[in-house]
Chain A
Amino acid sequence: MIELPRPDPAVLARRAPILAALAAIVPDSPRGAGVIGDPVRLRAYETDGLSAYRQPPLAVVLPETTAQVAALLRYCHREGIRIIPRGAGTSLSGGALPLEDGIVIGLMRMNRILEVDYADRLAVVQAGVTNLAITQAVAGEGFFYAPDPSSQLACMIGGNVMMNSGGAHCLKYGVTANNLLGVTFVTIEGEVLQLGGGHLDAAGYDWLGLVTGSEGQLGIVTEVTVRILRAAEGARAMLAAYPSNEVAGQVVDAIIASGIIPVALEFMDRPAIHACEAFAQAGYPLDAEALLIIEVEGNAEEQDILLDKLKDICGRFAPISLRVAETAEQSLAIWKGRKGAFGAVGRISPDYLCMDGTIPTGELPRVLRRMQEMSDAYGLKVANIFHAGDGNLHPLIMFDANDPESFRKAEAFGADILKLCVEVGGCLTGEHGVGVEKRDLMPVQFTAEELARQRAIKSAFDPQWLLNPAKVFPLAGNPVLERVA
């Protein structure tokens, strides 16, 4: 279990005046109440995508303008009130988990698209615009916003920026950081700063780069300028299945060595194949140990050429099954199982932890072998979905939430997997962020000195540690928070 800091009794005691002050800054509007204090309504904000942890906040406030966000931060800074910024609350690492004495600043009402410029290939949107809404707004002109987390229907661009989110297509198109031009950033003192803008290279320090992926530790983002790209002429997928993880790993290496960078290169292990097949009937071969989904882009002729080359490569490794989509529908069928993976695992086991380590791709067979041993030792099943091209693993650990011992084991199993990722040269998190979930594992990856420097940079932005405290950095060594007694 992850400790949360002891709430400040003085803040809890001031709840009523704090709510009144917040309401003065964000009054009710045609879109609803500006401040939520009712315990029943607060329940909607007590957790995020890491639903094993729940804590209702002191209050939720839903600003509609950057000026309101700035006023809120000025007020909280003056009064010493902790803040949990929140987008859609889909964080899988507990990044948006509230604190009892903290207020949630929810950005969801800031959901307007402010500008689209096709010639300059950018869009300026408010932080609460969903990831998919950006693509939907520009798709008519043949453009899209590239990073596509599986949560893209719900998650918001502000949350994406703060988590530096990736997606299934980041092998070719990169993660959020690679697709950003600028943000409007509000400091804890309530100063509104423009970091970056419509141009590519900042002069001076790369503040935009530092803020991206900072998990709400440095300030609040209210507007985001993203690059939009012209969509490829078309895309098509293929599937290749192998009798061992080792062989599938070699295929991944061979593909990369061939000079082809597919837009997607996904890997599923046996438990994931079975779960997805049972759920989606995508026609996955059930006798396979490992399955690759590979997608290429181009016009029809180019797709043929690339898929032929890939078929050649995959064919050299004695696949159990090799299926190239001939049509867009067949592509969808190949993707169907993978896209439903979370739901599929959810059907086998309603409760699962979605882990997110990264490993050097060459380590895959060894890591999967060790993971199977751990699975046996813990007595918990694990299914693996893997962005194979970039080494980002998503082990789904299945447990029973009604059994505290099962949850404790699942957490320990997850921690062991992440330690293994670091041990083989990888890292704790590839795209879901540290949040509370991996906070206490940070010393596995970083030295005390390294953590101290990161903390000092956090302090440079937020000297009192009011912004999303108790996340990312272990509580021990935290300059402000006390540990729970």
Chain B
Amino acid sequence: MSAALNAPLNAPGAEAPASEAELAGAVRDAFAARESLAVQGLGGRAASLRPVRAARPLSTRALTGITLYRPQELVLSARAGTTLPEIEAALAGHRQMIAAEPPDLAALFGVATPPTLGGLVAAGLSGPRRIGVGGALRDQVLGVRAVTGDGEVIRSGGRVHKNVTGLDLCKLLSGSHGTLAVLSEITLKLVPRPEASLTLALPVADVAAGVAALSAGLGSPYGVSGAALLPAGGEGFSGPTALLRLEDFFQFLGRRGDALRGVLAPWGEAARLEGADSLWCAVAEARPLAAAPEEAVWRLSLRPGRAAAAVAALRAAFPAKLLLDWGGGLVWVAGPASIAVHGAVMAAARAAGGTFTLFRAPDSLRMAVPVLPPEPAPLAAIGARVKAALDPAGLLNPGRMG
């Protein structure tokens, strides 16, 4: 097998089928020849997880277009290669949005390409609104069409909001990083875009105080839809700052903002920020993390109450740059791209009872360490059989997740 490590996607010859039938044909051909495939959208996030060693790239970039949009039913279907900006533009016309607030991480990955819908769902990426109930991108995936590793088209879910028919492969394929099937079309649940938003900024002493304040806000009845903790210096704030966002009808926000400031009062006086949309965009894109190009970036998912201890452990091990979102439940970490530092991140995640993802790093580190927490042996065995059920010859994105 000729291993093209991270074969550049837009390289001449990169296969980009323009229909699902062609996509299935391409995968069937690869299956017949037992040739592995590096499955990508526009290829902008290939520097995540483990580098794929595959015979050739296969791109969904030519599978584009919104195939169904029913604003009054809050559903949209689009082919996997459709870009996020294109979908957002269509939704804006009806004042609707994807509740998960999926982030465009082009800057983090140092690329200019926008994310594709297939890439976002395959990576399972959600932004600040993840903290709300049903706020994960996978929660918005009502249906998928996908091509299995032996070239068969399968569907799961559908285009209706409530569906428990059969095993939920929408969830299984969301976040599977193209290792189980190639997503060809995705149907999303939408929500109305709130009329207005209000952000409170609360200077806090440290991570423990910041997370406690965010928890108090999230435990209030005022509908907090974003709860992040910026590091000192992040987005122009001099010290560590807790940000809380309220979104609803304009008329509601005045009172709720006052009430929420009251809830936060034990930690200090929160300032009201107007027009903070770009601030939340920065949080979604992890810009306040200020990760240098040569640094590695991790995401830790843990109980908010364990965040402060995890942060202390990280800081004790290396000069960690940090950004917290999801009320402290998501810790973005940037630091030196070394095996030792990675070990410290793994240990901190384990000690906190949470998980980690080596989200961005030079190939050398991504080749050398576990990019995700290893699964216990019985689960890994089940996982291997599930993989075989969908990708019997193990041709899709080999190595990507482990």
Contacts and interface: CB of A to CB of B under 8 A. Distances in A.
Interface of A: 117-122, 142-143, 146, 163-164, 166, 170, 173-175, 177-179, 187, 189, 191, 193, 195, 197-210, 212-214, 217, 227, 229-233, 253-254, 256-261, 298-299, 301-302, 305-306, 358-362, 387, 389-392, 425-434, 438, 442, 445-447, 449-451, 453-454, 456-461, 472
A427 B164 CA distance: 8
A306 B249 CA distance: 9
A203 B167 contact: no
Contacts of B315: none
Interface in B105-127: 124, 126
B375 A210 contact: no
B382 A204 contact: no
Interface in B187-221: 191-195, 212, 215-216, 218-221
B372 A198 contact: no
A469 to B, nearest CB: 15
B368 interface: no
A43 B301 CA distance: 46
A387 B162 contact: yes
23 contacts: A118-B219, A119-B215, A177-B171, A191-B376, A191-B378, A197-B303, A199-B353, A200-B130, A201-B136, A202-B301, A202-B355, A204-B372, A205-B176, A206-B174, A209-B171, A217-B167, A257-B94, A259-B194, A362-B73, A387-B162, A431-B162, A446-B165, A449-B152
Interface residues of B, number: 88
A453 B152 CA distance: 10
A223 B284 CA distance: 33
B154 interface: yes
Given A209-B138, A261-B192, A426-B158, A434 B221 contact: no
A286 B390 CA distance: 54
B354 A197 contact: yes
B160 A454 contact: no
The majority secondary structure among interface residues of chain A is: loop
A79 to B, nearest CB: 20
B175 to A, nearest CB: 5
Nearest to B95: A259
A197 B172 CA distance: 17
A145 B329 CA distance: 20
Interface string B124-168: 101000110110101100000000100011111011111111111
Contacts of B174: 206, 209
Nearest to A253: B72
B166 A206 contact: no
B157 to A, nearest CB: 8
A434 B389 contact: no
Contact of B159 (A425, A461, A472): A425
Contacts of A232: 221
B72 A256 contact: yes
A162 to B, nearest CB: 10
Contacts of B169: 210, 453-454, 457
Nearest to A219: B382
Given A119-B304, A361-B72, A203 B357 contact: yes
Nearest to B155: A450
Contact of B163 (A227, A258, A358): A358
A302 B306 CA distance: 36
A205 B385 CA distance: 13
Contact of A205 (B152, B161, B172, B326): B172
The 3 closest A-B pairs by CB, nearest first: A209-B171, A460-B385, A456-B389
Given A146-B133, A390-B161, A449-B154, A193 B73 contact: no
A206 B171 contact: yes
A391 B299 CA distance: 37
B356 interface: yes
Given A117-B305, A187-B378, A206-B171, A429 B164 contact: yes
Contact of A204 (B71, B138, B164, B401): B401
B120 to A, nearest CB: 14
Most buried by A among B192, B195, B306: B192
Contacts of A179: 133-134
Nearest to A147: B133
A189 B170 CA distance: 26
A427 B187 CA distance: 14
Given A200-B136, A461-B382, A391 B162 contact: yes
Contact of A360 (B136, B156, B159): B159
Contacts of B133: 146, 173-174, 178-179, 227, 229
B301 A203 contact: yes
Given A460-B385, A460-B389, A200 B161 contact: no
Q: Which among A118, A195, A200 has the greatest number of chain B C-beta atoms within 10 A?
A: A200
B386 A206 contact: no
A230 B163 CA distance: 26
Nearest to A387: B162
Contacts of A191: 376, 378-379
B382 A460 contact: yes
Contacts of B299: 201
A367 to B, nearest CB: 12
A457 B134 contact: no
Contacts of B138: 206, 209
A390 B167 CA distance: 20
A214 B167 CA distance: 6
Contacts of A118: 219
B379, B383, B385, most chain A CB atoms within 10 A: B379
A175 B304 CA distance: 23
Nearest to B179: A205
Given A200-B301, A457-B167, A209 B160 contact: no
B373 interface: yes
